[in-house]
Structure 1
Amino acid sequence: MNTFKRSFLFSLVFVTPVVFAIPTLQTGKNDQKQLSLTIYERDLALVRDVRQVPLQDGALKVQFVDISERIQPETVMLRDTVSGKISVAQIYFDNNLLSPQTLLESYVGKTVRVIKTDPATGAETQESAQVLSARNGIVLKMGDRIETNVPGRLVYERIPEGLQASPTLTAELASKVSGSRQLELDYLTSGIGWNANYVALLNAGENRMDLSGWAAISNNSGTEFRNANVQLMAGSPNVTNARPMLMAAAARSAKFDAVPAGNEIAQESFSDYHLYTLPHKVTLSNNQSRQYALLSASDVKVKKEWILDGGNYYYRSRMPNVSDSLPVTMTVEFRNAKNNRLGMPLPGGIVRFYQTDGRGNQQFLGESRMSHTPANDDVTLRMGESFDVTGSRKQTLFKTVPSENQSVRKYESAYTIVLKNAKSTGVTVQVREPIPGSWQILQENYPHTKDGTTAVWRVAVPAGGQATLSYRVRVE
């Protein structure tokens, strides 16, 4: 009988598996050998982070810290830059950060120590307590009573597994080599973006401007990127809506720095996009915005226009008081060409116009968004509404014209547009009327041109005077 017991116990010990913990190592920014960022305009960046990591042959857990809090874990790529002899079993991202609240929540159902201090003597006493709840406050069981407020300070035995001091990406991998290796971690992250901004200083004659462009980079990713090579991507790569863009951090207060470039930003075509490479390595602190000089061009030829835009709703009904008062918009036009001191692809952004007044002070005139503009393209930007140049429109005739085809309706209408100019110089106003359907101008006192479905007249208005445009049109 004793022999049976001994052999049975031996067999239990023999078949019990021995579980070995997988070695774990942590790598941070001090291990970085190279850091590169490609920053997109839509709150998105591609991070390439190369680190020197001591590998060993076999299974290993590598914890990457000092990474973006807004990393998109499903985009992670990991490789050995030299041998490529690495096999990744799984990757997981821990963003359950250590804080007083998360530490308390992790101890629900567990025991903590409550230390009280006598205010008179300074003596400390301690008592064990079980954390019953950490939701909307704290509930403790202390001996045979329940406490809902902490009667002292809490002491925890240890930090539970799963709570991290910083965002951590863990890769479980199998390495076929041992020794120090360079691992490249690539991933997409939100919280980083850039946009272009332009300052246009018009001369007194409003026919030339000095144009400067700036690339504004914002980092709200939750981490610092130190000594990074930075490229800016202009264009709109398609991004699905499976993961919402995280823009809440942009509302935080952020430092702002303007950094003049030591030399020009290099520009190159890439696929159907354009890349702008900063000439020096950059350190982007968290919650920081920085500006880098993108271009500078002086004495660029521009043309200022005054435009009165109409509508398409008053050609098929009687509207005698269609528009008694009309705003006249000011636009600035220029050509993005080398013979106009430009000629490089211009990333889209806000252009802000300024002009120096009679006292030598620069005054803001207005702003407009410019779309991505390739070389040798024309740019038209709306600057604002004129104070001195105004217009009004009256419908002077409307009638239905008989038609042989009962399914086709024809209308005739006539209009008088009065343009007034209170400036000390004459201007030419471009009147643009988007006439619907098939139309024919029957009568006019200024010649028109056709721009698609829009009739365009150019009317000269003298200084301190006015001019009247009259036309009659048939629409079907």
Structure 2
Amino acid sequence: MRRLLAITTALTVLAPSVWAQTESVSARPDTATVVIYRDQPVDTVALMEQSRQPWSRLDREGLALIVETRTVDLPAGEGIIRFRGLATGVVPQSAVLEGLPAHVVERNADFDLLSPASLMEKSVGEVVRVVRTNPATGEQVEKAAVIRAGAQGTVLEIDGRFEALDCSGQTERVIFDRVPEGLGDQPVLSVRTRAERAGRHTVTLAYLATGLQWSADYVARLDPSDGTLDLTGWVTLANFGGTGFPNAPVQVVAGTLRKDEGTVPVEPVVRYQQNQCWPQGTTTFGSGEFTGYGGAPPPPPP
């Protein structure tokens, strides 16, 4: 028995119209500048071989100041602005937002990794499609289902009856028409605002981020005829995150960094699927009568 997971993008059903009036998304910056700091020498060879030397932790030792210019649509009244396209190692508590004519009620950093478990958990109460294939005949049957329980054991409501996923004895494929808000491979900064009127504004978003490093190398050429020295230097930049900054001006600074213990990036939330079922054919119940377990459920897998 196996289960396949499919995600189908359907922009027309992303959210009810009421949310379209109170939520705004800034997908990417219009412009960005990057300043990368370091407080100790970095060997270029070690920097380029970071993936082979994970113990060196060069990706966490670097610290960058990123200043972005963004165009945002400010909702009237209570609203939410979601900033996407941030550096993967963003330190959310360092974020400063300027130029927004609204009261900022709260700020949150969301970093839920998209996975089968998180998709199920975030979709509780949503309607999905379940396609079941008979392994003997190849016949497929598609049913609309409502997810009633998520990652700790998926329960579906189909035709008014509740069924545990993966317990029908057939190959099951769950199709989602949209990805729930907040799931992805990059962090999202959510700002809840309160404004008198809606409007489009240019704002500046500045924040610290880890995951960027730099090293410098020099070549000196001595001219023996006149004793002059020709010094050539170049800088190697490294971005260990999943966000690029094309055409962004970059400055590098070496010195003493003053960081407290709170200057750490937001860590992604990882959820793991824990579906399990009891003897096949015994997990369906309805009409107020439960006939599912046939005994105590087995212990969870180690």
**TM-score surpassing 0.5?**
yes
* Deviation for aligned residue 1:131: 7.7
Structure 1 residue 175 corresponds to structure 2 residue 210:
no
Structure 1 residue 103 corresponds to structure 2 residue 119:
yes
Within a 5 Å distance, the mapping from 1:306-325 to structure 2 comes to: none
* Deviation for aligned residue 1:166: 4.2
Deviations 1:89-112 (A, max 9, x none): 111111113233421344579886
Counterpart CA distance in 2 for 1:150 and 1:160 is: 27
* Deviation for aligned residue 1:238: 1.0
| Number of the residue aligned with 2:208 | 188
TM norm structure 2: 0.58
Deviations 1:66-114 (A, max 9, x none): 111211110010011xxx6332111111111323342134457988654
| Number of the residue aligned with 1:249 | none
* Deviation for aligned residue 1:175: 3.4
* Bigger relative CO (Cα 8 Å, ≥ 6 apart): 2
| Number of the residue aligned with 1:62 | 81
Deviations 1:247-301 (A, max 9, x none): xxxxxxxxxxxxxxxxxxxxxxxxxxxxxxxxxxxxxxxxxxxxxxxxxxxxxxx
Counterpart CA distance in 2 for 1:76 and 1:153 is: 41
Change (3 A) 1:151 1:86: same
TM norm structure 1: 0.39
Q: Residues 39 and 194 of structure 1 are in contact (CA less than 8 Å); yes or no, is this contact kept in structure 2?
A: yes
Structure 1 residue 44 corresponds to structure 2 residue 63:
yes
Counterpart CA distance in 1 for 2:79 and 2:106 is: 11
| Number of the residue aligned with 1:23 | 22
| Number of the residue aligned with 1:85 | 101
| Number of the residue aligned with 2:246 | 226
Q: Residues 33 and 67 of structure 2 are in contact (CA less than 8 Å); yes or no, is this contact kept in structure 1?
A: yes
Within a 5 Å distance, the mapping from 1:125-164 to structure 2 comes to: 125-126=141-142, 134=151, 143=163, 147=167, 151-156=171-176, 158-164=178-184
| Number of the residue aligned with 2:260 | 240
Counterpart CA distance in 2 for 1:160 and 1:150 is: 27
Unaligned runs of 5+ in 2: 1-17, 39-60, 157-161, 267-302
AA aligned to 1:100 is P
Counterpart CA distance in 2 for 1:130 and 1:36 is: 44
AA aligned to 2:35 is T
Counterpart CA distance in 2 for 1:133 and 1:56 is: 32
Q: Residues 53 and 180 of structure 1 are in contact (CA less than 8 Å); yes or no, is this contact kept in structure 2?
A: yes
Q: Residues 94 and 164 of structure 1 are in contact (CA less than 8 Å); yes or no, is this contact kept in structure 2?
A: no
Counterpart CA distance in 1 for 2:165 and 2:211 is: 47
Q: Residues 219 and 232 of structure 2 are in contact (CA less than 8 Å); yes or no, is this contact kept in structure 1?
A: yes
1:53 to 61, 68, 72: 72
* Deviation for aligned residue 1:132: 6.5
Counterpart CA distance in 2 for 1:148 and 1:118 is: 10
Unaligned runs of 5+ in 1: 1-19, 247-476
Change (3 A) 1:126 1:229: same
* Deviation for aligned residue 1:119: 6.9
Q: Residues 67 and 207 of structure 2 are in contact (CA less than 8 Å); yes or no, is this contact kept in structure 1?
A: yes
Counterpart CA distance in 2 for 1:177 and 1:132 is: 39
Change (3 A) 1:133 1:74: closer
* Deviation for aligned residue 1:43: 1.1
Counterpart CA distance in 1 for 2:26 and 2:265 is: 28
Structure 1 residue 215 corresponds to structure 2 residue 235:
yes
Q: Which secondary structure does the structure 2 equivalent of 1:71 belong to?
A: strand
* Deviation for aligned residue 1:242: 3.2
| Number of the residue aligned with 1:33 | 30
Counterpart CA distance in 2 for 1:191 and 1:165 is: 15
Q: Residues 139 and 148 of structure 1 are in contact (CA less than 8 Å); yes or no, is this contact kept in structure 2?
A: no
Deviations 1:46-83 (A, max 9, x none): 11111122335543311111111211110010011xxx
Structural RMSD (CA):
4.0
AA aligned to 2:67 is R
2:95 to 56, 76, 89: 76
Q: Which secondary structure does the structure 1 equivalent of 2:246 belong to?
A: strand
> Percent identity among equivalent residues?
29
Structure 1 residue 198 corresponds to structure 2 residue 218:
yes
Counting matched residue pairs gives 218
Deviations 1:200-236 (A, max 9, x none): 56899xx997643221111122211122121111212
| Number of the residue aligned with 1:293 | none
Structure 1 residue 94 corresponds to structure 2 residue 110:
yes
Counterpart CA distance in 2 for 1:232 and 1:76 is: 20
Counterpart CA distance in 1 for 2:121 and 2:203 is: 35
